[in-house]
């Protein structure tokens, strides 16, 4: 409601996705070799201020990464492996 009052229109929420969903992002950087895998598995944990860049938790690297090139599988969540 406050956004509508201030701007006179409803906010665009088309980029909003389900938090905690599995996501694959494009790995970039100087250490990526030609035949290396280009996608990495992560969990969606948020957005940046401009909502164009996704904040992700990389499951293998165990750190936060930011990426625009993301494929999100909404409603698909990571589960712990049973020993």
Q: How many domains are contained in the chain?
A: 1
Q: Is residue 72 part of a domain?
A: yes
- Nearest C-alpha neighbor of 61 from the set 31, 18, 16: 31
- What pLDDT was estimated at residue 51? 67
Q: Is residue 27 part of a domain?
A: yes
Domain that holds residue 59: 18-77
What average pLDDT does the chain have? 85
d(CA 83, CA 72): 28
Q: Is residue 1 part of a domain?
A: no
pTM for the full predicted model: 0.71
CATH number where 47 lies? 2.30.30
Q: What is the mean pLDDT of residues 40-46?
A: 93
Higher pLDDT, 49 or 80: 49
Q: Parallel, antiparallel, or unpaired for β 63-67 and 54-58?
A: antiparallel
């Amino acid at each position: 409601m406050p956004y509508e009052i201030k701007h006179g229109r409803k906010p665009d929420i088309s980029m909003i996705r389900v938090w905690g969903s599995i996501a694959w992002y494009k790995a970039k950087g100087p250490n990526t070799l030609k035949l290396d895998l280009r996608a990495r598995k992560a969990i969606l944990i948020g957005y940046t201020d401009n909502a164009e860049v996704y904040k992700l938790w990389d499951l293998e690297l165990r750190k936060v990464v930011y990426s625009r090139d993301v494929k999100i599988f909404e409603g698909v969540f990571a589960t712990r492996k049973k020993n």
